[in-house]
Amino acid sequence: MSGNLFKKKPIIPFVPTLQLCRNCDNRLRLRRTETRTIYTLAIGIFEAHIRQKYCQFCGAVYSCEALSQMVPSHCCVGFDVLDYVGRALFVECLNEAEIQRRLQAKNISISRRAIGYLGKKFVLYLAIAHRECCHELKQFLSVKGGYILHLDGTVEGESPHLVTSLDELSGIVLHNMKVPSENTEDIVTFLREIKKLYGLPLACVHDMGQGICAAIAIVFPGVLDFICHFHFLRDLGKDLFEKEHANIRRWLQSYRAKTIFRSAQKELFQIINQRLEFQKEIAHYMAHHQQGVPKASLSAVVKTYLMVAWMLAFKRELKGLGFPFDRQHWLFYQRIKIVIPLAESLKKHLPKKSAFTQMMRIFSSISRDSELHNVARQVEEKSAVFDQLRERMRIALPQTDQGLNDRGDETINLREIEQKVKEFRQSKEVIAFTEKDKGYQKMAQQMDKYWDKLFIDPIEVKTPHGKQWIQPQRTNNAMEQFFREEKRKGRKRSGTSSLTKSFKAMVADTPLIRNLNNPQYMNILLKGKSSLVERFAQIDAALVRQEMEKHQEEWRDLPKGLKNILKIPDLPQKLFQSLNGLSDN
């Protein structure tokens, strides 16, 4: 390992090779000497004996270029360690403790806090390098005919919103910003910066957020504006029957259905574990269930256990699309309805246990609840209409196995889909429903409002290879997938489900990490250098320090030093005492 190359910590001199000033050709003099402990992966830990020279006539200062290629000025951690930590944190998703152990194995001992700091520093170096090559990126995008702007934001708890833009054609993250909220004013600022850096997009793809829609109309008037079909469908379904579906959940919660059914399942499992014949029945059934119910009869206990377990396993039937595509509460109710008459026929054969008695009481109450039945029927009817629209739009279909990554059927012409959706909207059935139900009215209003943003013809662009036609994706799922991946990585690093604290501390340009996997982007970013280590060495370290200070100040919860004051246990009393001494002036 590099850290063990030397038995003793070596002392390496770093002296400028120049003898004469580049500006005025006068002989340079020694300005100062210092010794710094440096941490690098290439050499390990060493003492750098650093000399600076200066020109007494023009004041120019010269340092050793070899050292500036290894470590930033005023720092002790080399660029190779910075690169290693950044990739370990954001690409491998390791936490600070794991990275610390790895570095210790390389004889590099730094604290976890320092590792977190280096992670932010890595992103800032990357962000500055990204900004320095925006002109080349713009040229690269223009060669492809332009860029299609995908825009979205995400938030965790009370953290600021992270807004990110992505080019659909190249897959490159273009620009990022943390804003207090997704209001029009903040998004306008964000979009104007994109316009300044990359020019006008060929088209915009986004969700139905009012702030984003309004901001795009202000900054990119006349640019093709496209609403994500998945978000569009999801919002229509919520307008149509979210209220009724939520009512089913509240009704079942009032019965404490899941809690009581789980208690009954637990009691049944304990009984089965105590009886060998029951265990054999379960094993025999599992061995033959693919061929149907085995010929051997099952006891009432085993039958009831399997039915209750099946009833509680309703989420296995979901497709991972979320409401309104998945209707988990309605599905749970449907399974309860199926089990009720079967359980009634078995109840006299079950042991006298309180959990079973409670379960049968819940079954009886639910079967007599006409209001719950009516609400479930409304959800079923509206779901059928909603599924018709899903079929016509050919996206998020009931038989899908792609979950939230579903981009829709891309083999069908958009104009064909448009015609089918128009037939649905103008059908007598939908018109009749809108005359008597507010849910259908909201659905129809949303369809009319966003109709012009749903179906876009292929865009003709000019490239060095001639004219080409580009069809924008009809979903914003690239952005959704991106944010889900970032949150998954964040939870893996932190080991917690809540990312509010992480999002507050996150550098806004962290999403640029995604671009490191794009060879074309890296070729532009490196500007002829062979690695990020060499590229980062070209960046002014003072600029990085300014960016770090700006980041820390921008999203600090409390003014610097105030936290120490808040630790005072009797602060209110002291404040009151000081108030007594205030004058009216």
Please state the domain extents for the chain: 2-122, 134-228+476-526, 229-457
pLDDT value, residue 585: 46
pLDDT value, residue 66: 85
Residues 6+ away with beta carbon under 8 Å from 121: 82, 86, 544, 548
- In the block, tokens 């770093």 appear at 14
- Higher-confidence position of 262 and 413: 262
Distance between CA atoms of residues 417 and 419, nearest Å = 5
pLDDT one-digit tens code per residue, 519-542: 999 999 999 999 999 999 999 988
- CA angle 194–196–199, rounded 5-degree value: 80
pLDDT value, residue 554: 61
Do residues 376 and 382 touch, judged by C-beta distance below 8 A? no
| Residue range 343-357: mean pLDDT, rounded | 81
pLDDT one-digit tens code per residue, 488-522: 777 777 666 655 566 577 788 988 999 999 999 99
Asked whether the predicted pLDDT for residue 294 surpasses 60, the reply is no
Range of weakest confidence among 208-212, 312-316, 418-422, 489-493: 489-493
- Give the 3-state DSSP-derived string for 266-289, with helices as H, strands as E and coil as C: HHHHHHHHHCHHHHHHHHHHHHHH
- pTM greater than 0.85 (yes/no): no
Distance between CA atoms of residues 369 and 464, nearest Å = 69
pLDDT value, residue 408: 60
Q: What is 134-228+476-526's CATH superfamily?
A: Ribonuclease H-like superfamily/Ribonuclease H (3.30.420.10)
